[in-house]
Amino acid sequence: MTDKFADYSSIEPLLRDVRLPKMFRVTQSFPRERIEDVAGETRRQLLSARIKGKIRPGMTVAVTGSSRGIANMNIILREVIAFLKEAGAKPFIIPAMGSHGGATAEGQTQVLNSYGITEAFCGCPIRSSMETVHLGNVTDNGEVLPVYIDRYAWEADGIVVVNRIKPHSAFRGPYESGLTKMLCIGLGKQKGADSLHRDGFGTFATRIPLFGNFVRTHTNVLFGVGTIENAYDETNKIVVLHSEEIPQQEPALLEYAKSLMPRILVPETDVLIVREIGKNFSGSGMDPNITGTWSTPYGGGGIRKQRTCVLDLTDVSHGNGLGIGQADTTTVRFFNKMDFVATYPNALTSTVFLPVKLAMVLRDDRMAIQAVVKTCNGVSPENARIVLIRNSLHMGELYLSEAFLPLAGETEGMEIVSECQPLPFDEEGNLLIWNDKEE
């Protein structure tokens, strides 16, 4: 335990008498159409798109790998690589993740490997570098802005962009997380991401397509592979687009992805408890489209609440604690896992500091939860409305406090599956719900 957090004797009396309400477990149901054979469907889409004619024998092709925890991404990349090799190309994977992975080549390779994207599995080299090439300039509202691209991608004979299409966690626009954003921010590495972020997320609705289409038309982007997930973190759709089809079709695919997003079916609570956050769940640690923990004024949605408590950080985040700034309390366990050097490049690149600010650090789960319940205004602790989720990606099961019983019973898509019981903690104050690893 970090020495500065060794003694909580002055805090304990302030929280000792905070009585937590009983909680009950519910399940939530969403449409669950999914692809059973992801490898086979990837190959079918590659063949039906009639893109083999764009691939010349012997050409080198850079294929993008993402820093997100995308369902089946290693399988999709493996099939794309195999397709390119069968056509006679020499493909390789590059980390396309802006400033993630601590903004180092080694860190970005480690991120890919943690998602099963390895040279052995995918059957090709991974070439990681933070070196970029100045591709040219774009002009937005009279401002001249440089556009950068990963040097390996620039030197390749062709580029294949692969990414998940979904709503972004900091802004709204016709192109959010997806292929166009990957072209300019992911492929731009830290330097390119820094250029695009310089005036903040309020410019992204116009700058993402401006920068992305500049990259697309000034390099040899062969095609794009977009994946869309259902509410259960499963692959719902795989689409292969010719380069010129990306700007035409991506907005409609984004709207489709939005229609499949999971959510917390109760719209408002006093306290939201998030068991774990991490880069494998959202670029923001916890997806504000679900949790309502927005770091900018350019997005909206998610559950409304007074307080947010975050208990843990996933190991596959490699210390990147981005998102803890939107919480009100957290634990010493989280603090000890957080690597500030790995986290801060995101804020310095995105120009948004709120996600890296530190929540109140308390000794254990029980104390962190008691603190947010105690500080809710206009409600007694034993009657507080509490929503407990595992993370912002898995919405099939959650816990609600007793005050939600009437609403839960009449909410479509929600089923009560347990009686009201006190939250279980061990002798050290650790919450005994979902205390296994979710990677």
- The residue among 141 and 68 whose pLDDT is bigger is 141
Q: CA 77 from chain center: how many Å?
A: 19
* 24 occurs within a structural domain: yes
**pLDDT > 70? residue 225:** yes
Residues 56 and 200 in one domain: yes
Enumerate the β-bridge partners of residue 225.
Answer: 162, 240
The three-class DSSP label of residue 279 is coil
Residues of the chain with pLDDT > 70: what percent? 99
Q: Report the alpha-carbon distance of residue 421 to residue 253 in Å, rounded.
A: 43
Residue 67: closest CA among 99, 43, 37, 24: 99
Q: Where are the beta strands (DSSP E) in 118-216?
A: 132-140, 143-150, 158-164
Q: Report the alpha-carbon distance of residue 416 to residue 426 in Å, rounded.
A: 25
**pLDDT > 50? residue 6:** yes
Q: Report the alpha-carbon distance of residue 203 to residue 181 in Å, rounded.
A: 13
Do the Cβ atoms of 227 and 70 come closer than 8 Å? yes
Domain boundary among 226, 259, 292: 259
Confidence of residue 1 (pLDDT cuts 50, 70, 90): very low
Residues 102 and 217 in one domain: yes
Residue type at 128 in one-letter notation: S
Residues 192 and 295 in one domain: no
Residues 75 and 118 in one domain: yes
For residue 67, the enclosing domain spans 38-259
Residues of the chain with pLDDT > 90: what percent? 81
Residue 295: closest CA among 283, 306, 311: 283
Average confidence (pLDDT) over 224-246? 96
* 208 occurs within a structural domain: yes
143 to 132, 175, 305: CA distances (angstroms):
21, 21, 39
* 426 occurs within a structural domain: no
Residues 149 and 181 in one domain: yes
**CA dihedral sign, ordered 433, 435, 437, 439:** positive
Residues 245 and 376 in one domain: no
Domain boundary among 225, 259, 293: 259
pLDDT digits (tens, 9 = 90+) for 153-197: 999 999 999 999 999 888 899 999 999 999 999 999 989 888 888
* 296 occurs within a structural domain: yes
Say if strands 397-401 and 386-389 run parallel, antiparallel, or are unpaired: antiparallel
Phi-psi region of 334 (alpha: psi -120 to 50; beta: other; left: phi over 0): alpha
* 391 occurs within a structural domain: yes
- Residue 165 sits in a domain whose CATH number is 3.40.50.11440
* 199 occurs within a structural domain: yes
Residues 61 and 203 in one domain: yes
pLDDT digits (tens, 9 = 90+) for 198-218: 888 899 999 999 999 999 999
**pLDDT > 50? residue 439:** no
**pLDDT > 80? residue 100:** no
Q: Report the alpha-carbon distance of residue 251 to residue 58 in Å, rounded.
A: 34
Residues 212 and 317 in one domain: no
Residues 302 and 403 in one domain: yes
Confidence of residue 438 (pLDDT cuts 50, 70, 90): very low
According to the model, what pLDDT value does residue 377 have?
95
Q: Report the alpha-carbon distance of residue 61 to residue 182 in Å, rounded.
A: 16
Residues 225 and 340 in one domain: no
Q: Report the alpha-carbon distance of residue 38 to residue 46 in Å, rounded.
A: 12
Residues 255 and 267 in one domain: no
pLDDT digits (tens, 9 = 90+) for 253-308: 999 999 999 999 999 999 999 999 998 888 789 999 999 999 988 888 999 999 99
**CA dihedral sign, ordered 251, 169, 68, 263:** negative
* 430 occurs within a structural domain: no
- Residue 56 contacts by C-beta under 8 Å, 6 or more apart in sequence? 88, 89, 157
* 421 occurs within a structural domain: no
**CA dihedral sign, ordered 191, 194, 195, 201:** positive
**pLDDT > 90? residue 348:** no
Residues 279 and 363 in one domain: yes
pLDDT digits (tens, 9 = 90+) for 69-79: 799 999 999 99
According to the model, what pLDDT value does residue 212 have?
95
Domain boundary among 221, 236, 259: 259
Number of domains comprising the chain:
2
Q: Report the alpha-carbon distance of residue 81 to residue 139 in Å, rounded.
A: 35
**CA dihedral sign, ordered 230, 434, 304, 337:** negative
Among the residues of 309-364, which ranges form H helices?
332-337, 340-350
pLDDT digits (tens, 9 = 90+) for 16-53: 999 999 999 999 999 999 999 999 999 999 999 999 99
Average pLDDT value over all residues in the chain: 93
